[in-house]
């Protein structure tokens, strides 16, 4: 089929049915995580639901939904934490849920995240199934569910919503639905700053398709409307992120880069990984923290290795660009270093080589591996949220 062909072609009946085992498995892993969290929190005398819906960033999102933008906290050291740092799509959905139901904004955030996490699981399945078949797709979904910080998928955070939009946008690119891909990328850009990764993926794949089309034999070229659809999708993709960033700049008087000043108030920035490298290096200066430094080095090495495997396996350009940008932004940001595993949560294409390897094992063995990971994820999530928790 031509790269620019935007026609849906014959319907693919049964996608939801094919995804059902993955979605049920995903729900089971997340239910286990919530159960362990509830038991752990009860033993400590804390509220699991509060940890999920009214702590850390979740509290900031509900404040945006309730009060709008303009709320800020000035710290004794002079830092200014403004809620303009938080992109608007999740608060908008929280406000919508509260407007049409008796649920609170926090309840709405939890509901949106739960539903979005299922949509994300479905999108991951759709992408993985198209590339490697249904067995690998199920493994990919379960691996994503059982990540050590997988509990964030069930929090009133924006990671699940963003991953759902990103996954389905990438699937739309893979299936030639360019306008849909652009619209979903625009929505992803209204969800998190890393929405730029989805925009970059749509642009890279679109430009590659247009170049291939230009070099093709005239008799094999797609109709002009198909090229127009590619260009329209590319034009729409950045509107969400660009619109919000420009609005923040106008509101703060900081111009096009005003959003960076807002992030600077949170001590967030992009330094190419210098601060993270220095932080890691400092761990080796004292014996008690040396294992932490070693774990960080191994973790970064594993990410680089996985990305290299993705390249060698010839993943589609859109997935490589998306995963590369998400990983680079997470590792090269100067933000709080404990947040980096959470920031990497949307980089699901990195899991596809592992999923393909698991799919080649016999079912009992792959089930044992995934079950063990689910238990570890549940215990770690409960420990994490009852301790330092995600920033």
Helix and strand counts by DSSP (H, E) for the chain:
18, 2
Q: Burial, 142: exposed, middle or buried (Cβ in 10 Å; 0-12, 13-18, 19+)?
A: buried
Q: Is residue 345 part of a domain?
A: no
Residue 258 CB partners (closer than 8 Å, separation 6+): 245, 248, 249, 250, 251, 252
Residue bearing tokens 């390897």: 357
Which tens digits make up the pLDDT trace of 266-304? 888 887 778 888 878 888 887 778 888 888 889 999 999
Q: Give the tokens for residue 275.
A: 């601060």
Give this prediction's pTM.
Answer: 0.93
Q: Is residue 175 part of a domain?
A: yes
Q: Is residue 307 part of a domain?
A: no
Report the sign of the C-alpha dihedral through residues 343, 348, 352, 354, in that order: positive
Q: Is residue 277 part of a domain?
A: no
Average pLDDT for runs of 10 along the chain of length 391: 48 79 97 98 96 95 95 88 96 98 97 98 98 97 97 97 98 97 98 97 96 73 79 97 96 90 87 81 81 88 95 97 96 81 96 97 96 97 91 73
Q: Is residue 230 part of a domain?
A: yes
Residue 245 CB partners (closer than 8 Å, separation 6+): 256, 258, 259
Q: Is residue 342 part of a domain?
A: no
Phi, psi of 270 (to 5 degrees): -125, 110
Do 217 and 167 form a contact (C-beta atoms < 8 A)?
A: no
The domain total for the chain is 1
Do 381 and 33 form a contact (C-beta atoms < 8 A)?
A: yes
Q: Rounded to an integer, what distance in angstroms lies between the CA atom of residue 80 and that of residue 266?
A: 7
Q: Rounded to an integer, what distance in angstroms lies between the CA atom of residue 91 and that of residue 15?
A: 30
Q: Is residue 153 part of a domain?
A: yes
Which tens digits make up the pLDDT trace of 238-273? 999 999 999 999 999 988 889 999 998 888 888 777
DSSP-assigned beta bridge partners for residue 74: 80
Check residue 352 and give its pLDDT. Answer: 98
> Whose CA is closest to 381, among 132, 148, 207, 171?
148
Q: Is residue 338 part of a domain?
A: no
Check residue 1 and give its pLDDT. Answer: 43
* Residue numbers of the domain that contains 111: 21-268+362-385
3-state secondary structure of 73: strand
């Amino acid at each position: 089929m031509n790269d620019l062909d935007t026609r849906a072609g014959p319907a693919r009946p049964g996608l939801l049915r094919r995804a059902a085992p993955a979605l049920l498995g995903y729900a089971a892993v997340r239910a286990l995580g919530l159960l362990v969290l509830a038991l752990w929190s009860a033993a400590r005398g804390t509220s699991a639901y509060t940890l999920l819906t009214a702590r850390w960033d979740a509290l900031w999102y509900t404040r945006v939904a309730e009060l709008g933008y303009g709320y800020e906290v000035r710290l004794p050291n002079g830092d200014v934490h403004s809620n303009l740092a938080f992109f608007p799509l999740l608060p908008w959905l929280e406000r919508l849920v509260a407007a049409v139901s008796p649920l609170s904004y926090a309840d709405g955030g939890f509901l949106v995240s739960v539903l979005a996490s299922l949509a994300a699981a479905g999108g991951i399945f759709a992408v993985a199934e198209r590339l490697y078949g249904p067995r690998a797709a199920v493994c990919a979904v379960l691996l994503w569910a059982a990540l050590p910080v997988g509990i964030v998928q069930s929090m009133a955070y924006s990671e699940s919503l963003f991953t759902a939009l990103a996954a389905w946008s990438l699937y739309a690119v893979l299936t030639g639905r360019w306008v849909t891909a652009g619209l979903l990328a625009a929505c992803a850009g209204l969800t998190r700053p890393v929405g730029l990764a989805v925009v970059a993926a749509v642009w890279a794949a679109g430009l590659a398709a247009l170049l291939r089309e230009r070099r093709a034999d005239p008799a094999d070229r797609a109709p002009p409307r198909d090229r127009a659809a590619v260009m329209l999708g590319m034009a729409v993709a950045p509107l969400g992120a660009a619109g919000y960033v420009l609005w923040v700049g106008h509101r703060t008087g900081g111009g096009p880069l005003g959003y960076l000043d807002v992030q600077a108030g949170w001590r967030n920035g992009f330094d190419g990984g210098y601060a993270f490298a220095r932080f890691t290096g400092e761990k080796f200066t004292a014996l008690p923290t040396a294992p932490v430094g070693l774990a960080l080095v191994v973790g970064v090495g594993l990410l680089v290795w996985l990305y290299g495997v993705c390249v060698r396996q010839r993943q589609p350009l859109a997935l490589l660009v998306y995963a590369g940008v998400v990983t680079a932004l997470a590792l090269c940001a100067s933000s709080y270093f404990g947040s980096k595993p959470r920031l990497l949560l949307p980089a699901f294409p990195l899991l596809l080589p592992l999923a393909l390897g698991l799919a080649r094992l016999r079912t009992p063995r792959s089930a044992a591996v995934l079950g063990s990971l689910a238990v570890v994820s549940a215990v770690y999530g409960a420990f994490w949220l009852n301790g330092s928790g995600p920033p």
